[in-house]
Amino acid sequence: MIILGLDPSLSCTGWGIIRAEGSRITHIGNGQVPTDAKMPMTERLAALQQALAAVIAAHSPDRAAAEEVFVNKNPQSTLKLAQARGAVLAACGGAGLTVNEHAARLVKKAVVGTGGADKTQVQAMLKILLPGAKIAGADAADALAVAIADAHLSYAPGAR
């Protein structure tokens, strides 16, 4: 099973792809899709959708996973996140991918063992779980964590 993990953001969306075979996971690829804040919103969203469609076409994942939406204190930030998420989901939908959604605390718990883990702890665990993987940045790391959590949650007895 090839799983595409996604960390949607308007400024820089992370993606990570793993292969899950039972409880065993291996790294396939990861990256980040930044957008230019000076570009019009429609162009940024289109660029994001097109870049992720290219990632999907290149790696042919079986399904995707993304963190559930959280609400920021700033309504504008929440709206921009939702728009970026829409572009990400549209790319997945266009490829016929099912997208599983997981709460951030559940992702951290599945990867690190505690839902209160910080980014440093998640990244340290990724080095253990995916030895030798070159991670493109923090957003790509978050996306890989989502993919790993999806694999673990799907493999766990009684899951899905």
- Position 22 scores a pLDDT of 84
Domain count, the chain: 1
Catalytic site residue 118?
A: no
* Active-site residue identified among 36, 43, 62, 139: 139
| Domain containing residue 76: CATH number | 3.30.420.10
Mark the binding-site residues for Mg(2+), compressed into ranges: 7, 67, 139
Q: What pLDDT, on the 0 to 100 scale, is given for residue 71?
A: 66
The confidence score (pLDDT) of residue 144 equals: 97
Question: Is residue 68 among the annotated active site residues?
Answer: no
10-residue stretch averages of pLDDT, the chain, 160 residues long: 96 96 93 96 96 97 89 79 93 96 92 90 94 94 96 64
- Residue 112 included in any domain: yes
- 7 noted as active-site residue: yes
- Report the distance separating Cα 81 and Cα 129, nearest Å: 28
Residue 62 lies in a domain: yes
Residue 53 in domain: yes
Domain span holding position 54: 2-155
Q: Which residues carry a binding-site annotation?
A: 7, 67, 139
Q: How far apart are CA 60 and CA 58, in angstroms?
A: 6
Would you say residue 160 lies in a domain?
no
Please report, for residues 44, 97, 100, the alpha-carbon distance to residue 119 in angstroms, rounded to integers and kept in the order given.
26, 27, 21
The pLDDT of residue 157 is 47
Q: Side by side, which strands form the sheet with 99-102?
A: 24-34, 12-21, 2-7, 63-67, 99-102
